[in-house]
Structures are given as structure tokens and as C-alpha cells.
Structure 1
Amino acid sequence: MQAVLLETIDGNVTPTLSTIDEPELRPGHVRIAVRAASINRADLLIRAGTHTPAAAAADAPPIAGLDACGEVIEVAPDVTGISKGDRIMAMVPGGLAEEVIVPAAAAVPVPSAWSFVDGAAAITALMTEHNALVTAARLQPGETVLVHAAASGVATQAIQLAKVLGAGRVFGTTRSHSDSPVLRELGLDELINVSEANFADRILELTDGGGVDVILDHVGGPYLEDNIRAAAIKARIIGVGRLGGATGTLDLEELARKRVELIGVTFRTRSDEEKFAIAQALRDVDLETNADSLRPLIHGTYPWEKVLEAQEGLSTNKHVGKIVLEVG
């Protein structure tokens, strides 16, 4: 079968379409014929050498990709609840291959109204943001939410998911007014252009000085000081990404006064059981019923032969929504 391998060429990690052996089906797993997979920020970090991908075998280059969406073509005898022909999406290492072996516990059904491209665009973002909003932030109905880097692929899904989960007003930050119409269609109540205004000042204006209950931060260090200013009493600040850097200024006095919780989230240090629990929590959302409200915003699609071009498109930070590769 064909797969996109992460090969080191002249010292650089380069995604290369190659031919490899088909993976072996294991107990508790299903085999899917991959139809689409998304491009993620971690793909760029792997190429930059700051993240280490998991290799399929000790003597083989790792396969690119963090997720996959496709059709089940084989089911291990001990697996129940999944049948051949089912359409599933999953966070799985090495998703950029014609076939991938997925733990049954990680498989999430694709809503009937969604395409394979929709499923690929949604799964990593939904897993990430559901964990951030529900497990980490403990979002309660009616609470206010601030989503930083609101035009990014995971953040657009966060806006939609927050509304489905019963959030009150949802605010977002970007560096461009051009993102406003499409983000408002997703459910955003107010977009703050950080190139023109300080987001903390604006949040305090919009909330009559009260601040927001939950902050989903995809920017990181540079926003830390103003996140504390924008936070309500007993707010939860969830560090999802660090697009702007990993270090910032923290006012410990204000953190204590407001009794703010600062929580970091990542999948890199989670056990399989923890990841499976997040997949189950996502299945409990009833994606079929909420398919229209959670349909992912897709910036563009590429044939998987153009994986490098797609990754370069992500690196420009000019996209709104997810970038997806169509496989095969």
C-alpha cells in the first residue's frame, strides 16, 4: 500500500509518498480504508524537529498524520459495535496511508450528513476542544467563553462546540476583520481584532468588568498576562496551543485574587485509556443530531500527493478552518 513517510533527507524531515507493507490487524482494532486526513500544527513541529512522531517499526520511517477518516474494511473478531462498511474517524498516528489500524475504542462514527473530508477535518479538533471545554474547563451552561486564534482549525470547532454544549456568549480573537462574517456564522458573538485593540480591555467592556469564565488559549505566552486580566473570578484558562511562544508574564497576586485555574492540555502525555475516554465523551455528544451545528469549517482540500504544499499552506497562518488531504 502507499503511505506518506516522514523521511530524513539531508538532515530535514520530509513527507514522502512511498510504498510499504499493509499493517497487521490486531485484537481490539479495526482496519479502515482511509479517504481523508487533516493537516495539523503538530505536522509542522515534527518537520521542525520539536516533536517526535511514533514509528510503525523500529527500523522503518514513521508515517505522517495524526488522524484519519474512512471506511471500515476489516474488524477483529473480539470487536463489537463496529461493522465492515461503517464510516469512522479517529485520532490515530500514521493516518496518511491507504489503510490504517485503529483501536475500536478510538473510533468515532461519522455523522451521515458529513463527507469523509468533514470527518477528517473535525476529529482532532473535536477531541482537543471537547477535552478542553468539558474535562479541563468544566464548562457550565450559560458561561462565557473566549477563544484565542479563533480562525484556526481547532478554534473554529471550539466555537461551534461551546455553543452546542450550552455556553452563553462566545468571544474570539484574530488579527483580521475579514474573518468576522464566517466566524459569526459559526456562533461567535464578538470578534476582537488584536491588531487594533487590547483583547483584555475589550472583554472587560463587553462583560461590564466581570471578565469571562473560560479562556481557550491557542496562542500561549504572549497572552498570559492579559488572560489573567480578562478572566472572571474563578475562571479557568486552558492552555491548548502555543502559537505565539511558550513563556509569558504571570501576575501571581491577580491569579490568587481571582482564584483562577490555569490548566495545560495535550495528547502527547496521555495514555491510550485516557484518549479512549475522550473519544467516548465525544460519542456521547450525539454527533448525528448535532451534525449541522458541528460541521467543520474547511479552508481547503489537497490531493495527498501535495502534502508538502498543504503543510506550507498551514504554516502561513492565513487559513480560516481546517486543511484536509484527500487520500487515494
Structure 2
Amino acid sequence: MRAVQITEFGGPEVLKISEVEEPTPGAGQVLITVDRAGINYADTHQVENSYLSKATLPLIPGGEVVGRTADGRRVVALVGSGGYAEKAVAHAPYAFDVPEGVSDGDALALVLQGTTAWHLLKTSSHLQQGESVLVHAGAGGVGSLAVQLAKLWGAGRVIATASSEEKRKQVLELGADAAIDGDPEGLKDRIIEANEGRPVDIVLEMVGGRTFDESFDALDRFGRLVTFGAASREAAQPVDPRRLMKGSKTIAGFWLADCFKNPALLGGPLTELFDLTVAGKLRPIVGGEYGLSEVATAHEDMRARRTVGKLLLDPAR
């Protein structure tokens, strides 16, 4: 079968199409004929081996797929790796039936990025009615869903960062109350100004480096910052515990992989997200579709912040 397989770590240039053996499902696994695979920013880290979990070669990237099982079920599945291919194997508890009214793109946007947004707001930051929320990369896969969910769940004011005027317009259309430039220079002041002169209660942060530092400094008393990525590939300054005490602030980390040992931590939120989508209350954003031969371009576009929403990979072309 055709797949994108890497034999060395590096940037987008190492992504090559190969003919590989079709995967064989083991006990408790299902074989899925892939209609579309999801492309995530984490994949760019996996390809260069800078992710939280270290990869081994050779490697077929891709953490989630949507397609059909041998018995005809239409499922979206988390596969860990192996998604950039015509067929993939998933453990049965992580292959979720896709309801009518949910497109392939919707399902891929929700299974990983949607459940991440759900846990960021409910599990890690404990969003309360009326609280202000800052969402970094509000036009991205997680961000575009987090903006909508925060509004649905009663946030008082939602602020999103985005890297261009066009993206800032998009996040306002999704329901954000304010959209600002995410450049770290002067970011703290822009955050507070966008929140009508007040520090914010919650920050969902996935850039790292100076963006993390400026966002932390914009937290109100009892504020919570949840870090779930490091897109800048830069380290933030160490946080002196005394800075947490003054203002009673919290820094939390979130990685969806920590939910994988308990499928209910994924299936429950995903069912809720599917229901909201079918009801028209949540709008997953599909930002582009690429063929297998265009996968390097997809990674280049994502790293250059030229994309919005969820990116899809079509293994048939």
C-alpha cells in the first residue's frame, strides 16, 4: 500500500511516499481503510523527533484517521502513528462510530483537537461562568474549537490571538469577543487591553517561549494557565514558585496522550462534541486538504502559520 514513511528525522523534506506492507491487526485491533487522515502540528514534532514521546524509525506519521472497518462501520480512530497511509490499524476502544451529520473533516477535527479543547476548558482550567479566557492560535485546530466551546459554556469574555488580520477576522466570526496579534512583543499589554483593562482568568497556551512568559504575566488573581504545546520551539523562563503564590496563580500542563489509558476520557467528550456539531452549535473548521504527494507542503504551510482549522490528508491522491 502507499504510505508516507520517513527513514530519517528532520523537517518536511524527509516526508516521502513509499510502498509498504499493509498493516495486520492484532488481538483487540481493527483494520481501517482510510478515507482521510488528520494532520496535526504535533506531527511536525514527531517527524523531527522533538515530541514528548520519542519516535523510532522507520515511521509512518499520522495520529488519527477516518474510514471504514472490514464490517462496514464508519469510524474515526486515534492510531498513535501510521495514519498517513491507505490503511491503518487502531485499538478497538479508540475507534469511534461517526454519526450521520458529522463529515469526515468534522470527525477528524473533533477526535483529537476537539477532545483537547474540551479537556483544556473542563478538566485543566475548570472554566467557570463569567470568566475571561485567552485562546492562543484561535484560528488553529484546537483554538477554533476552544473559542466556540468557551462561549457555549458561559465564558464572560473570550480573547483569541492570531497571526494575521484575516485570521483575526475569522476568530471573531467564531464568537471571540476580541482578537489580537499574537506577537510576543508587548503581548501582556494587548491581552489586558483586549480584556477591557483587566487581567484574564484563563490562558490556553501552546506557543511557549516569550508568549508563555507574557501570557503568565497577564493572569489575574487565581488565574490558570494551561500549556499544551511549544509551537515556537523556544523554552519559557523558569517560574519562581513565589510568582505563583503572589496572585494565587496556577500553571497546568495538558497532553491528550495521558487520557489514552482510559477510553472514556475520550469517548465521553467526543460524543458531546458530535452532538453539538449535529445540533449546529459547534462548527469544526476544515482549513485544507492535501494529497499524500503534497504532505511536505502541508507541513511547510502549518509551520509557516499559513493554515487555519483542521488539515486533512487524502491517501487516494
Q: Same fold (TM over 0.5)?
A: yes
2:268 partner amino acid: A
**What is the DSSP-based 3-state SS (H/G/I as helix, E as strand, rest coil) of the residue aligned with 2:275?**
coil
Does residue 68 (structure 1) correspond to residue 65 (structure 2)? The answer is yes
Once the two structures are superposed, residues 123-181 of structure 1 have per-residue CA deviations (whole angstroms, 9 ceiling, x without a partner) of 22112222222221122233221011222222122212323333332111123222222
CA contact 2:49–2:55 (8 Å) conserved in 1: no
Is 1:257 equivalent to 2:246 in the alignment?
yes
Is structure 2 residue 138 aligned with structure 1 residue 150?
yes
Distance 1:146 1:271 in 2: 24
Aligned residue number for residue 38 of structure 1: 38
Secondary structure, in 3 states, of the residue corresponding to 2:81? coil
1:298–1:169 Cα change, 3 Å: same
* CA apart distance, 1:37: 1.3
CA distance change for structure 1 residues 323 and 198 in 2, over 3 Å: closer, same or farther?
same
Pick from 155, 159, 169 the counterpart of residue 171 of structure 1: 159
Provide runs of 4+ in structure 1 moved above 6 Å: 9-13
Q: Equivalences for 1:15-94 in 2 at 5 Å?
A: 15-51=15-51, 54=55, 61-74=58-71, 84-90=72-78, 92-94=80-82
Q: Shift in Å at residue 253 of structure 1?
A: 4.0
CA contact (8 A) 2:39 2:312 kept: yes
| Partner SS state of residue 7, structure 2 | strand
| Structure 1: gaps spanning 5 or more residues | 75-83
Aligned pairs for 1:1-328 within 5 A = 1-8=1-8, 14-51=14-51, 54=55, 61-74=58-71, 84-90=72-78, 92-195=80-183, 198-207=186-195, 209-244=197-232, 245-248=234-237, 250=239, 252-267=241-256, 270=258, 272-274=260-262, 276-291=263-278, 292-328=280-316
TM-score (normalizing by structure 2): 0.86
Instruction: Tell me if the contact between 1:173 and 1:199 (Cα under 8 Å) persists in the aligned partners.
Output: no
* Identity across the alignment (%): 30
TM-score, with normalisation over the residues of structure 1? 0.84
Q: Deviations over 1:56-99 (max 9, x none)?
A: xxxx722121111112224xxxxxxxxx3233343532111222
Q: Gapped runs of 5+ residues in structure 2? A: none
* 8 Å contact kept, 1:228–1:251: no
**1:18-42, Cα deviation, whole Å (9 max, x unpaired):** 2223222233332221111122222
Matched residue count: 313
C-alpha distance 10-297 of structure 1, shift in aligned 2 (>3 A): closer
Which whole-Å CA distance do the structure 2 matches of 1:206 and 1:313 have between them?
Answer: 29
Aligned residues: CA RMSD: 2.8
